[in-house]
């Protein structure tokens, strides 16, 4: 039985669009060169490292932004292009880093870079992204691992085929009375799933462009492009699903990221640029999911923080991004449920709601009005709106339907055409610039709200000769808690530690030398500590954690 589906490919080339600030998105070589140039230009503020390589030898780059030792300061990680075809995420992360560095001389950002670290990982899936620059262009999520997706003992034997020779993989439509797709009302070029419950009659079968090379009744089910990284993380990993991999974190890219994150205990939060969104649409508290033995819903306190961070995001002019359902085994959900960190995600750029409005040419072209188009069932309104937006901005976006001879449908009318790959989520590069301005503002606002520890209200009481009671308040002067509530359940979370350091002639009579603050200190909250100490001289106390920074105080015993 043939697999029936309609693909939602976007535009591949975007090379000749009048709004392009540069010819196209950077390939791996251009990405590497650009990162090296950023690092060379800002030597006192940046460092560049490769945390691993893909199976084809491509580096997985991390650009660290901040003053001093990056690992000794609380950090936020920005990760892009896990999907592979989301080149806009890569460009957005690069431009956001550049804009943050461009503001480094201002007092507010200078102080921020002295106390916080920003890690930018602009492309986690460079092998899949390479398809954008290949002779044959199609949206690819799988990395370069060779896989037998249809489990027939052969590999890559049934990939897409360029039937009209235009270098793009689009769709084929076959006129068939048993078809389950009809012409969309908003645009006769677009096909949408017919709804029998509404009395709609289908007229077409729709497949991705290609032929059934292995004659198994399915089209393009086993081509190049192996494991999808966003299905290969551990939370709700689905074994035996196409693209998920043989086991969780089986891929070099995922393993490199996970190992690096666990080694960097200063990470406070992760922000992902991809097709996931809890920044304009924060999570809602669901007690039934949040209180399960295997937790599958955000904790109530974390939901409140998500709502607050969402307001920061919207306050930067970023509103109404499209809604998305989480993908099982993806990065953003792993980062929260299994890594125990605040995890925020956004597509970063999306089409304006008014898709008939042309962007203004120039360096500020395509300014985001802060409104988005949510995907419609079957892709009807979605694809129609993509074509309206593309036409308004003079962007090539559609391959007109053209009749061909197809070996699998010898006596039927078959046409090749449809929406070009990459267009929907990868606009001309100049359109990314306004989004980068806003994301840089959001990052600054978020980092300013991050937790920061200080020791206040230090009180010393002399109870008798050589015996003192010391009381302190560990104050979180940030607006966000010291760690997520889910982090209380993740034992690896680097919780706040308070350490008393008596001198040789001092002895702690009551209280501990090392105390772990097991629950998060809320924004502007305090945790009080007390000790009974005998002896004289200076008694040192330090509070520290990777995601919060550290503070020290010296107390003179009376």
pLDDT in tens, 141-160: 999 887 656 565 655 545 67
What local confidence, expressed as pLDDT, does residue 358 receive?
A: 62
What local confidence, expressed as pLDDT, does residue 354 receive?
A: 73
Q: Does domain 1-449 have CATH number 3.40.50.720?
A: no
The DSSP-derived string for 80-128 is: E-SSSS-HHHHHHHHHHHHHHHHTTTSHHHHHHHHH-EEEEE--S-HHH
Task: Provide, for the chain, the percentages of residues in helix, strand and coil under a 3-state DSSP scheme, each rounded to the nearest 5.
Answer: 25, 25, 50
With a pLDDT cut of 90, the percent of the chain lying above it is 78
| Single pTM value for the model | 0.90
What local confidence, expressed as pLDDT, does residue 210 receive?
A: 86
In the chain, where does the domain assigned CATH 2.60.40.10 lie? 453-557
Query: 318: helix, coil or strand?
Result: coil
Q: Alpha-carbon Rg of the chain, whole angstroms?
A: 27
Tell me phi and psi for residue 444, to 5 degrees: -65, -45
What local confidence, expressed as pLDDT, does residue 11 receive?
A: 40
| Cα–Cα dist 206/200, whole Å | 16
| Cα–Cα dist 269/292, whole Å | 24
Query: 31: helix, coil or strand?
Result: helix
For 208-238, letters b (16+ CB in 10 Å) and e give bbbbbbeebebbbbbbbbbbbbbbbbbbbbe
What local confidence, expressed as pLDDT, does residue 558 receive?
A: 83
| Cα–Cα dist 551/454, whole Å | 5
What local confidence, expressed as pLDDT, does residue 282 receive?
A: 96
Q: Does domain 453-557 have CATH number 3.40.50.620?
A: no
Name the stretches of the chain with pLDDT < 50: 1-23, 157, 360-379
In the chain, where does the domain assigned CATH 3.40.630.10 lie? 1-449
Which two structure tokens, joined as six digits, stand for 489?
Answer: 């359940």
What local confidence, expressed as pLDDT, does residue 279 receive?
A: 97
Where does 425-501 have alpha helices with state H?
Answer: 432-449
What local confidence, expressed as pLDDT, does residue 387 receive?
A: 94
Q: What does each C-alpha distance from 361 to 393, 427, 430, 529 come to in angstroms?
A: 9, 14, 9, 60
What local confidence, expressed as pLDDT, does residue 219 receive?
A: 62
What local confidence, expressed as pLDDT, does residue 162 receive?
A: 87
The DSSP-derived string for 388-416 is: HHHHHTT---EEEEEEE--TTSTTS-EEE
Angle at the Cα of 266 from the Cα atoms of 514 and 520, rounded to 5 degrees: 55
| Cα–Cα dist 256/61, whole Å | 11
Give yes or no for a contact between 169 and 416, defined as CB atoms under 8 angstroms apart.
Answer: no
Residues 6+ apart with CB under 8 A from 198: none
């Amino acid at each position: 039985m043939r697999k029936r589906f309609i693909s939602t490919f976007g535009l591949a080339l975007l090379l000749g669009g009048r709004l392009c600030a540069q010819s196209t998105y950077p390939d791996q070589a251009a990405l590497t060169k650009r990162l090296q140039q950023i690092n060379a230009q800002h030597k006192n503020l940046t460092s560049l490292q490769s945390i691993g390589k893909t199976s084809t030898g491509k580096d997985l780059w991390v650009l660290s932004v901040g003053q001093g030792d990056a690992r000794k300061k609380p950090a936020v990680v920005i990760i892009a292009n896990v999907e592979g075809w989301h080149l806009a995420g890569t460009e957005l992360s690069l431009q956001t880093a550049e804009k943050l560095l461009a503001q480094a001389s201002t007092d507010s950002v200078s102080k921020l870079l002295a106390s916080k670290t920003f890690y930018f990982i602009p492309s986690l899936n460079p092998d899949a992204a390479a398809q954008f620059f290949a002779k044959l262009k199609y949206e690819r999520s799988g990395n370069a691992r060779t896989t037998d997706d249809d489990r027939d003992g052969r590999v890559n034997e049934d990939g897409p085929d360029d039937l009209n020779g235009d270098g793009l993989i689009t769709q084929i439509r076959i006129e068939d009375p048993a078809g389950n797709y009809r012409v969309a009302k908003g645009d006769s070029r677009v096909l949408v799933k017919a709804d029998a419950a509404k009395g709609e009659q289908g007229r077409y079968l729709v497949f991705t462009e290609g032929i059934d090379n292995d004659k198994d009744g399915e089209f393009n089910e086993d081509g190049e492009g192996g494991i999808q990284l966003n299905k290969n993380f551990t939370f709700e990993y689905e074994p035996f699903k196409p693209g998920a991999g043989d086991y969780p974190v089986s891929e070099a890219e995922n393993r490199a990221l996970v190992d690096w994150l666990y080694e960097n205990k200063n990470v406070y939060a992760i922000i992902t640029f991809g097709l996931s969104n809890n920044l304009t649409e924060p999570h809602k508290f669901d007690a039934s999911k949040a209180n399960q033995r295997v937790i599958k819903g955000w904790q109530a306190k974390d939901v409140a923080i998500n709502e607050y961070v969402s307001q920061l995001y919207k306050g930067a002019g970023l509103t109404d991004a499209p809604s998305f359902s989480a993908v099982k085994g993806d990065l953003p959900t792993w980062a929260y449920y299994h890594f125990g960190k605040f995890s925020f995600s956004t597509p970063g750029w999306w089409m304006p709601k008014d898709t008939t409005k042309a962007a203004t040419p120039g360096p500020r072209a395509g300014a985001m009005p802060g409104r988005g188009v949510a995907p419609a069932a079957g892709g009807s309104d979605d694809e129609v709106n993509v074509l309206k937006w593309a036409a308004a901005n003079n962007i090539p976006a559609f391959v007109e339907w053209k009749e061909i001879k197809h070996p699998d449908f010898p006596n039927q009318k078959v046409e090749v055409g449809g929406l070009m790959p990459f267009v929907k989520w990868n606009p001309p590069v100049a359109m990314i610039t306004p989004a980068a301005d806003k994301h840089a503002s959001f990052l600054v606002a978020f980092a300013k709200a991050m937790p920061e520890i200080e020791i206040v209200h230090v009180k010393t009481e002399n109870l008798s000769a050589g015996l003192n009671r010391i009381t302190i308040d560990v104050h979180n002067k940030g607006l966000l808690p010291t760690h997520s509530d889910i982090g209380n359940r993740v034992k690896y979370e680097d919780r706040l530690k308070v350490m008393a350091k008596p001198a040789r002639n001092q002895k702690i009579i009551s209280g501990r030398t090392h105390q772990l603050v097991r629950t998060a200190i809320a924004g502007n909250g305090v945790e009080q500590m007390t000790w009974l100490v005998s002896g004289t001289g200076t008694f040192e106390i330090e509070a520290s954690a990777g995601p919060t920074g550290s503070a020290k105080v010296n107390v003179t015993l009376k």
